[in-house]
Amino acid sequence: MEQTLITLHPDYAIAPVDPRIFGGFLEHLGRAVYQGVYQPDSIHADEEGFRKDVLAALREMRMTALRYPGGNFASGYHWQDGIGPRESRPRIRELAWQSIEPNHFGTDEFIKLSRKMDWTPMLTVNLGTGTPEEARNWVEYCNSPAGTKYADMRAANGSRDPHGVKLWCLGNEMDGPWQLGHVPADQYAIRAQQAAKLMKDTDPGIELVACGSCTTSLPTYMEWDRTVLEYIGGYAEYVSLHRYVGNENGDTADFLAVTNSIDKQIEEMDAACRFVQARLRSKKRHYLCFDEWNVWYRTTSSEHTNGRDQFAPHLIEEEYNLEDALVVAGFLNSFIRHADVVKIANLAQIVNAIAPIHTRNDEMLLHTIYYPFVMYVRRREGVALQAMVKGPGYASRSYGYVNTIDSSAILGDGQLHVFLVNRSLSDIAPVHIDLIGRQLKRIESAEIVTGANAQARNTFERPKNICSQVFTNVQLRESQALVELPPLSVAALTFRV
Ligand code: AHR
């Protein structure tokens, strides 16, 4: 294959990479909470009931902002059901996923877990069936000093000091007709504005995420965002966007080109924010919170989404393969390339439900998508650089022309990190990396994920079929790097500069 030349320049900086783009998402959905992070009867349970094996795997992912408790679940959730002595918490018929929710895990357990894991907690209030006042009370429960009603409840539940939750989402996917309490944009905007005002009156230090379009395919796409931002923009710091992608047609080359449409979605949402800012002659710039993203398409039928009134049913337990891992890397490349506008992003989700980690009784499996995330997160500090990419490409069926090599780069403190995805199904890709005006002095580390074919995956029987490995096909010549990427691979490289 013809060589790809990646030219970088330290002055062509996009913006510092916000560590919160390496966030995650935990929803009361299937076996994400119960049998996922929390399972007091597991041999792996710690003294608080958290699964140590799962937490150890998650720790390697060094996630930052962790969104909870949903998702669709949030739109029917009443947070007071999940606090206080466990034996008096109600058992609820949960409607988003048609499951039984015993409320054994709630706000205080999530905060404990966040502290253990060094996560920044990010709570989604219920603007589907909940009220603005209920949202405001949750802020008091979490953030006010003891001495008033809800803060005293927290103290009585064992936490005298406030939980200090700074990031709050104003509902979930309220533009989706499937959402409990779904309403048109103007009605959501009024609800969210009422909640936002009460929440910020309770704690002016919090940051709010307004629900933006959760998919590009609804007829309300963009119009929803304009309406919502015009109405509540003054109260919110971020607007959310979601994206799930899949290889429904069994066309790997096309699937790997989906990054074009992720870039486009980000740029369109940013355009909506800029449009509203200009129209309102406002000084306030809204940033993007990509608070759900992943590959999800094999388990979308009701067989996988309806819990049939079971507790912890097996729902949306997607099993990921190599091409999915490359697409996950593509999402991360896109977030890094848009570091000036994407400030928060949450991989949906973290365990069992569309997740990198999978449990089966006391066993645990790491899916393919686990590895690129860990490779990127180890190299997340610094400023995103614009890359000039010159090399071969192809016209994809659905997403237009793409370079064969998808890439991003971060310039850190004396280090350059480069991320490369080779989308070729068959060919080794030679890549030349040149950082203008600086010398690449040494290869500090290089890792790769690749495999025999796009569908290769990990199973409990062959758990290490696809995983990251030390990558040796990198050389320095005259202070520039020469890389030979195998077909269907993602590499993460760190150079001393
Ligand atoms: O992550 C699974 C679901 O996808 C979430 O609950 C919802 O917000 C989205 O539709």
Q: What is the pLDDT of residues 209-229, one digit of tens each?
A: 999 999 999 999 999 999 999
**DSSP label of 320:** -
**Is ligand 1 within 6 A of the CB of residue 72?**
yes
Structure tokens at 366: 């790491």
For a pLDDT cut of 90, what percent of the chain falls above it?
Answer: 99
**Is ligand 1 within 6 A of the CB of residue 349?**
yes
pLDDT for position 242: 98
**Is ligand 1 within 6 A of the CB of residue 27?**
yes
C-alpha of residue 71 to centroid of ligand 1, in Å: 5
> What is the band of 109 on the pLDDT scale with cuts at 50, 70, 90?
very high
Can you give the CATH number for the domain in which 457 is found?
2.60.40.1180
Q: Are residues 137 and 115 in the same domain?
A: yes
Q: Are residues 279 and 371 in the same domain?
A: yes
Q: Is 173 a catalytic residue?
A: yes
Q: What value does the CA radius of gyration of the chain take, rounded to a whole number of Å?
A: 22
Can you give the CATH number for the domain in which 113 is found?
3.20.20.80
**Is ligand 1 within 6 A of the CB of residue 291?**
no
Given 330, 345, 377, the domain boundary residue is 377
pLDDT for position 221: 98
**Peptide bond preceding 36: is omega within 30 degrees of 0, i.e. cis?**
no
- Which residue among the candidates 27, 94, 173, 447 is catalytic per the annotation? 173
> What is the band of 361 on the pLDDT scale with cuts at 50, 70, 90?
very high
Q: Are residues 88 and 43 in the same domain?
A: yes
> What is the band of 236 on the pLDDT scale with cuts at 50, 70, 90?
very high
**Is ligand 1 within 6 A of the CB of residue 348?**
yes
For a pLDDT cut of 70, what percent of the chain falls above it?
Answer: 100
- Amino acid of residue 465: N
Start-to-end Cα distance in the chain: 28
Structure tokens at 376: 């990127």
Find the helix packing angle between 107-117 and 132-143, rounded to 10°.
50
Given 377, 405, 429, the domain boundary residue is 377
d(CA 212, CA 242) in angstroms, rounded, equals 8
Q: Are residues 327 and 393 in the same domain?
A: no
Q: Are residues 223 and 314 in the same domain?
A: yes
d(CA 375, CA 401) in angstroms, rounded, equals 27
Q: Say whether pLDDT at 191 is over 90.
A: yes
How far is CA 25 from its chain centroid?
6
Q: Are residues 311 and 428 in the same domain?
A: no
| Residues 6+ positions from 242 with CB-CB distance below 8 Å | 173, 214, 215, 290, 291, 292, 293, 348
**Is ligand 1 within 6 A of the CB of residue 172?**
yes
Q: Are residues 387 and 371 in the same domain?
A: no
Going by CA atoms, what residue is nearest to atom 5 of ligand 1? 71
**Is ligand 1 within 6 A of the CB of residue 94?**
no
Q: Say whether pLDDT at 233 is over 90.
A: no
**Is ligand 1 within 6 A of the CB of residue 171?**
no
Given 377, 395, 430, the domain boundary residue is 377
The answer to whether 236 touches 208, Cβ cutoff 8 Å, is yes
Mean per-residue pLDDT for 87-109? 98
pLDDT for position 450: 98
Mean per-residue pLDDT for 105-114? 98
d(CA 456, CA 454) in angstroms, rounded, equals 6
Going by CA atoms, what residue is nearest to atom 6 of ligand 1? 71
Q: Are residues 154 and 245 in the same domain?
A: yes
> What is the band of 377 on the pLDDT scale with cuts at 50, 70, 90?
very high
d(CA 140, CA 152) in angstroms, rounded, equals 9
- Which residue among the candidates 292, 318, 323, 447 is catalytic per the annotation? 292
**Closest of 336, 463, 270 to residue 18, by C-alpha:** 336
C-alpha of residue 73 to centroid of ligand 1, in Å: 8
**Is ligand 1 within 6 A of the CB of residue 175?**
no
**β-strand pairing of 99-101 with 310-311:** parallel
Q: Are residues 307 and 455 in the same domain?
A: no
Residue pLDDT, tens place only, 423-465: 999 999 999 999 999 999 999 999 999 999 999 999 999 999 9
Going by CA atoms, what residue is nearest to atom 2 of ligand 1? 71
Q: Say whether pLDDT at 359 is over 90.
A: yes
Handedness of CA 456, 461, 462, 467 (dihedral sign): positive
Mean per-residue pLDDT for 470-478? 96
pLDDT for position 10: 97
| Residues 6+ positions from 302 with CB-CB distance below 8 Å | none
Give the ligand 1 atom nearest the CA of 70.
Answer: 6
Going by CA atoms, what residue is nearest to atom 1 of ligand 1? 348
**Is ligand 1 within 6 A of the CB of residue 352?**
no
Going by CA atoms, what residue is nearest to atom 9 of ligand 1? 71
| Residues 6+ positions from 476 with CB-CB distance below 8 Å | 440, 441, 442, 443, 482, 495
C-alpha of residue 416 to centroid of ligand 1, in Å: 35
- Amino acid of residue 320: Y
Q: Are residues 309 and 350 in the same domain?
A: yes
C-alpha of residue 167 to centroid of ligand 1, in Å: 19
Mean per-residue pLDDT for 165-184? 98
For residue 57, give its domain range: 18-377
Output the average pLDDT for the chain. 98
Q: Are residues 263 and 352 in the same domain?
A: yes
Q: Are residues 250 and 169 in the same domain?
A: yes
> What is the band of 4 on the pLDDT scale with cuts at 50, 70, 90?
very high
C-alpha of residue 75 to centroid of ligand 1, in Å: 11
Mean per-residue pLDDT for 328-347? 98
Mean per-residue pLDDT for 13-34? 98
Residue pLDDT, tens place only, 43-80: 999 999 999 999 999 999 999 999 999 999 999 999 99
pLDDT for position 9: 97
Pocket test for ligand 1, best of 72, 172, 216, 245 (most atoms within 8 A of CB): 72
C-alpha of residue 214 to centroid of ligand 1, in Å: 9
- Work out how many domains the chain is built from and give that number: 2
- Find the helix or strand (DSSP H, E) in which 269 lies: helix 259-279
Looking up tokens 């409840």 gives: 153
Q: Is 134 a catalytic residue?
A: no
